């Protein structure tokens, strides 16, 4: 009897073990292979996986290591033609030359589709259903920074959040924020003016990056959250530290498998996440107390988030999560990306004094000593052209990233559920077949007659993304950049310092690794 029981027990254990092995084999090998087969049958090729456990990661690491041995720091003469995609994403460039504008690759059991064909990029932008969403593994990896806010969520949660936030960035609302933008910009110009006055020879050498972050942070705080930068300074600084920590972990193509293990790095991430949450909730509490005593308080973005959370009858925990996550999304997207775009703008204008003079003349002609307002900004075509060309060459966001949440038709291709789609924006923006033989050169004139005449396929100019996921703060960011550049050229002439080292770096966004050093002289 006892021997029979032991035999049955061993049989059950063996069956359980075999089932586990079968499950793992299916998840790790068979399921990914079925996805690859579906794409192969439609003519999609790509680098063969190194193994079913790691996919193409070893090859990516090898290509990246070889590329890093090449000196990526350029002097002034090489900046205009410096295509940084070959140094930041060398594996994509290597495979693109081998397999074309659409190819597949894998990172372990995750299957990816590189899509840089203009027609397919257009198709991605035209999908308005929930079938295409943000990559789930990327959302999990970036959860400490962005949570389930509008940048990473999908489906009805994303739709609800977008509805609340987008209303605050309509152009009519942005026009009402321009006064605050000008005030913050004037404060920055006065700071730099003091630096110039105190400098020897009337020329100050300034690394502009941190000051631009302060400016952008002050604008987003005052315009969207009703507080000055001094009140939100801790939030911004901690979000930047958290951004760097997650970038160093290689968030782009590494999964979130180990993010719940209590490693030192994870414990540091969790601590920062708690601190950021606490600071945001403190701001929320102050706002709630303020609104109780003043029912006619103007409805800025923070107030709309509070009301949005209440309208869905969330629990206190759910409400706090909804508000905190979206505040983090706006702090990150509205602060960091605009500051970096401004740094690239100033670098390029400092490098090309001819265009700086043209912008200065336009601003003087439009304003004629008057104030900067929505009407004046609308007339500044030269300023807009410079910004567009900067965003073409140095878009802060490097990728359009999607995941097929259902089988999705893109052109003639049926992309099966569970595929991650990646469009490399800098490559799209520098393709000579799309932009002409001067694609690597700074030439704002290409936008003189608008985007449709600037390139062969207008849908390939995507510095703010595409389709339903188009950046909600686009109008806000463009207005902020126009105001900053207008004030800058009105007050100063500037050039790129000999100390400047041109080395774009990818830290969730493409930023100057060593900052932007300018020589500034008061006009």
Residue 205: other Cβ atoms inside 10 A: 14
Quote the tokens at residue 265.
């790095």
How far, in Å, CA of 50 to CA of 265, rounded? 28
Q: Are residues 15 and 98 in the same domain?
A: no
Residues 412, 384, single domain; the answer is yes
For 522, residues 6+ apart whose C-beta sits below 8 A from its C-beta are: 193, 196, 197, 202, 491, 492
Same domain assignment for residues 28 and 52: no
Q: Do 121 and 2 sit in the same domain of this protein?
A: no
* Same domain, residue pair 146 and 190: yes
Confidence at residue 433, expressed as pLDDT on a 0 to 100 scale: 94
Domain that holds residue 211: 42-522
DSSP H helices, 368-494, are 374-379, 381-393, 425-429, 432-435, 451-454, 474-491
Written in H, E and C, the secondary structure of 245-301 is HHHHCCCCCCCCCCCCCCCHHHHHHHHHHHHHHHHHHHHHHHHHHHHHHCCCCCCCH
CATH number at residue 332: 1.10.630.10
User: What are the Cα distances from residue 97, in Å, to 4, 90, 91, 103?
Assistant: 64, 11, 10, 11
Residues 2 and 112 in one domain: no
Q: For position 1, what pLDDT does the model report?
A: 56
List the structure tokens of 28.
């790790």
DSSP result, 172-212: HHHHHHHHHHHHHHHHHHHHHHHHHHHSGGGEEEEE-HHHH
99 is written with which tokens? 């397999």
Residues 7 and 133 in one domain: no
**Same domain, yes or no: 31 and 122:** no
Q: How many domains does the chain have?
A: 2
Burial class (CB in 10 A: 0-12, 13-18, 19+), 70: exposed
Rg (CA), the chain: 25
Closest-CA residue to 455 (of 121, 114, 86, 118):
118
* Pair (240, 186) in one structural domain: yes
The two tokens of residue 454 are 């600037």
pTM metric for this prediction: 0.90
| C-beta separation of 254 from 110 below 8 A | no
Are 102 and 3 members of one domain?
A: no
List, run by run, the mean pLDDT of 10-residue segments along the chain (523 residues). 67 69 60 89 92 86 85 58 81 94 92 95 91 87 88 91 88 91 96 94 94 93 78 83 77 58 82 90 80 67 78 77 88 88 97 96 89 90 97 93 94 93 95 94 95 93 93 93 96 96 90 95 94
Do 25 and 144 fall within a single domain?
no
Instruction: Note the pLDDT tens digit of each residue in 345-355.
Output: 999 999 999 99
Considering the domain architecture, whether residues 79 and 13 belong to the same structural domain is answered as: no
């Amino acid at each position: 009897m006892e021997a029979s029981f032991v035999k049955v027990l061993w049989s059950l254990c063996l069956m359980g073990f075999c089932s586990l092995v079968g499950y793992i084999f299916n998840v790790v090998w068979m399921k990914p292979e079925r996805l690859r087969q579906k794409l192969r049958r439609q003519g999609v090729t790509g680098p063969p996986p190194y193994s079913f456990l790691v996919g193409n990661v070893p090859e990516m690491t090898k290509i990246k290591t070889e590329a890093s041995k090449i000196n990526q720091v350029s002097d002034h003469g090489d900046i205009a033609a410096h295509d940084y995609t070959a140094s930041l994403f060398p594996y994509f460039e290597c495979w693109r030359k081998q397999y074309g504008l659409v190819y597949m690759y894998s990172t372990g059991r995750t299957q990816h589709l590189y899509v840089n064909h203009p027609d397919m990029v257009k198709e991605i932008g035209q999908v308005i259903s929930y079938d295409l969403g943000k990559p789930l593994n990327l959302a999990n990896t970036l959860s400490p920074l962005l949570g389930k806010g509008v940048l990473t969520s999908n489906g009805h949660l994303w739709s609800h959040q977008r509805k609340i936030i987008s209303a605050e960035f309509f152009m009519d609302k942005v026009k009402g924020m321009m006064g605050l933008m000008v005030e913050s910009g004037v404060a920055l110009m006065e700071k730099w003016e003091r630096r110039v006055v105190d400098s020897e020879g009337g020329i100050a050498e300034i690394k502009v990056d941190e000051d631009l972050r302060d400016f952008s942070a002050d604008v987003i705080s005052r315009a969207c959250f009703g507080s000055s930068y001094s009140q939100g300074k801790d939030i911004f600084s901690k979000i930047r530290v958290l951004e760097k920590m997650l970038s160093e972990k290689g968030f782009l193509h590494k999964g979130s498998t180990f993010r719940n293990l209590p490693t030192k790095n994870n414990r540091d991430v969790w601590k920062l996440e708690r601190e950021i949450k606490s600071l945001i909730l403190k701001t929320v509490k102050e706002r709630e107390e303020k609104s109780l005593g003043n029912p006619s308080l103007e409805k800025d973005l923070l107030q709309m988030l509070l009301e949005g959370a209440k309208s869905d009858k969330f629990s206190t925990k759910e409400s706090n999560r909804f508000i905190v996550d979206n505040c983090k999304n706006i702090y990150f997207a509205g602060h960091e990306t605009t500051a970096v775009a401004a740094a690239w703008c100033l670098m390029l204008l400092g490098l090309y004094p001819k265009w700086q003079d043209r912008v200065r003349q336009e601003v003087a002609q439009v304003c004629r000593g008057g104030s900067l307002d929505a009407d004046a900004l609308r007339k500044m075509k030269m300023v807009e052209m410079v910004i567009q060309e900067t965003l073409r060459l140095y878009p802060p966001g490097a990728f359009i990233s999607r995941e097929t949440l259902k089988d999705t038709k893109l052109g003639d291709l049926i992309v099966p559920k569970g595929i991650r789609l990646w469009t490399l924006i800098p490559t799209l923006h520098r393709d000579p077949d799309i932009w002409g033989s001067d694609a690597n050169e700074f030439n704002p004139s290409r936008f003189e007659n608008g985007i449709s005449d600037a390139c062969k396929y207008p849908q390939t100019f995507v510095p703010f993304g595409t389709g339903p996921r188009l950046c909600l703060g686009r109008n806000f960011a463009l207005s902020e950049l126009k105001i900053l550049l207008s004030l800058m050229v009105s007050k100063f002439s500037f050039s790129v310092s000999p100390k400047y080292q041109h080395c774009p770096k990818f830290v969730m966004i493409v930023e100057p690794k060593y900052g932007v050093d300018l020589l500034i002289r008061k006009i």
